[in-house]
């Protein structure tokens, strides 16, 4: 098949130092094509299969969502196994509108990375949000109140999704978005930091981190302890999990970005 849009997206995704032929070479990361169709190759040479993946191929800060079948090829002009429609370019569409995300998924498309210290103005990247007027004690109480709806061990994986109105999350990201919206209100847009600051961690903050099992993971701060944090998270082994503790050092070492509504 030939899709001019995807061909353009693949080229735009790479830097000018790569040629178009490199995009479709066996060793290059990005969109790949052969006579059977299109697939996405990760930097380590693997590719997604039987899953959705957010890809910001045109590098505009907003990703489109694509479904890759059991054979690794992108579906297009079809209904996916979980019942969603993808258009002729393979992008997820609802009511005729291509859905957009901010590179948030469980397969490694989170934006931003880094560690260290710095002022809030130095750390801020991406978008600034509105502020909440509730205390951290109230935030913790509201999070704990959600436990009756999302109990320990409840099944939660990448098939669970949540649309905040300006981005869509799957799996652990979906749960983090739900918690923040329930606690702070959907109208309070988070502010993102991409430099780790131990003194700037708040109850209810969403942290995007590298997972010990590979890939990336979203967690929400349930409590700030003397030597670390207590977490609540979705898609932790395919389930909701409450109370995992993580040291500040471990959080720093695996840090990608932080989103706060304070």
Of the given ranges (21-35, 67-81, 227-241), which has the lowest mean pLDDT? 21-35
Amino acid 44: pLDDT: 86
Q: Name the segment(s) of the chain with CATH classification 2.10.270.10.
A: 4-101
pLDDT greater than 90 at residue 74: yes
Question: How distant is the alpha carbon of residue 182 from its chain centre?
Answer: 19
From the candidate CATH numbers 2.10.270.10, 3.30.70.260, 3.40.50.1820, 3.40.50.720, the one assigned to the domain spanning 4-101? 2.10.270.10
Alpha helices in the chain (DSSP H): 4-13, 20-23, 120-123, 136-145, 172-184, 248-253
Amino acid 71: pLDDT: 94
pLDDT greater than 80 at residue 199: yes
Between 168 and 153, the more confident residue is 153
pLDDT greater than 70 at residue 11: no
Q: How confident is the model at residue 84 (pLDDT cuts 50, 70, 90)?
A: confident
pLDDT greater than 70 at residue 91: yes
Amino acid 146: pLDDT: 95
Residues 111-151 have pLDDT tens digits of 322 222 222 222 233 333 456 788 999 999 999 999 999 99
pLDDT greater than 60 at residue 262: yes
What the block records as the tokens of 40 is 């996405």
CB 106 within 8 A of CB 176: no
Distance (Å, whole) CA 216 – CA 197: 20
Amino acid 92: pLDDT: 85
Mean pLDDT of all residues belonging to the chain:
78
Residues 213-253 have pLDDT tens digits of 888 899 999 999 999 999 999 999 999 999 999 999 999 99
Distance (Å, whole) CA 54 – CA 44: 17
What the block records as the tokens of 61 is 């800060």
Distance (Å, whole) CA 54 – CA 102: 8
Q: How confident is the model at residue 14 (pLDDT cuts 50, 70, 90)?
A: very low
Between 212 and 205, the more confident residue is 205
Residues 154-191 have pLDDT tens digits of 999 989 999 887 778 899 999 999 999 999 988 677 88
Q: Which CATH class is domain 120-260?
A: alpha beta
Q: Name the segment(s) of the chain with CATH classification 3.90.1720.
A: 120-260
Amino acid 59: pLDDT: 61
Percent of the chain whose predicted confidence (pLDDT) is above 90: 48
Q: b/e per residue, 150-177, with b = 16+ CB within 10 A? A: beeeeebbbebbbebeebbbbbbbbbbb
């Amino acid at each position: 098949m030939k899709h001019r849009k995807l061909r353009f997206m693949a080229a735009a995704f790479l830097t000018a130092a790569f040629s178009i032929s490199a995009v479709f070479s066996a060793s290059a990361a990005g969109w790949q094509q052969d006579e059977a169709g299109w697939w996405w190759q990760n930097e380590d040479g693997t590719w997604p299969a039987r899953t959705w993946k957010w890809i910001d191929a045109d590098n505009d800060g907003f990703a489109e969502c694509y479904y890759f079948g059991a054979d690794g090829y992108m579906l297009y002009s079809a209904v996916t196994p979980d019942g969603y429609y993808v258009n002729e370019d393979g992008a997820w569409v609802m009511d005729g509108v291509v859905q957009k995300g901010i590179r948030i998924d469980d397969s490694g498309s989170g934006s931003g990375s880094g560690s260290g210290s710095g002022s809030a103005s130095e750390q801020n990247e991406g978008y600034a949000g509105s502020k909440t007027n509730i205390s951290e004690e109230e935030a913790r109480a509201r999070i704990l109140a959600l436990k009756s709806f999302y109990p320990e061990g409840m099944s939660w994986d990448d098939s669970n999704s949540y649309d905040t109105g300006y981005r869509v999350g799957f799996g652990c990201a979906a749960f983090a978005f739900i918690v923040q919206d329930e606690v702070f209100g959907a109208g309070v847009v988070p502010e993102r930091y991409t430099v780790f600051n131990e003194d700037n961690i708040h109850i209810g903050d969403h942290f995007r981190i590298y997972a010990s099992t590979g890939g990336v993971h979203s967690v929400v701060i349930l409590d700030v302890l003397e030597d670390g944090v207590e977490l609540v998270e979705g898609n932790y082994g395919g389930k909701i999990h409450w109370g995992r503790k993580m040291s500040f050092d471990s959080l720093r070492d695996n840090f990608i970005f932080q989103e706060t509504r304070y």
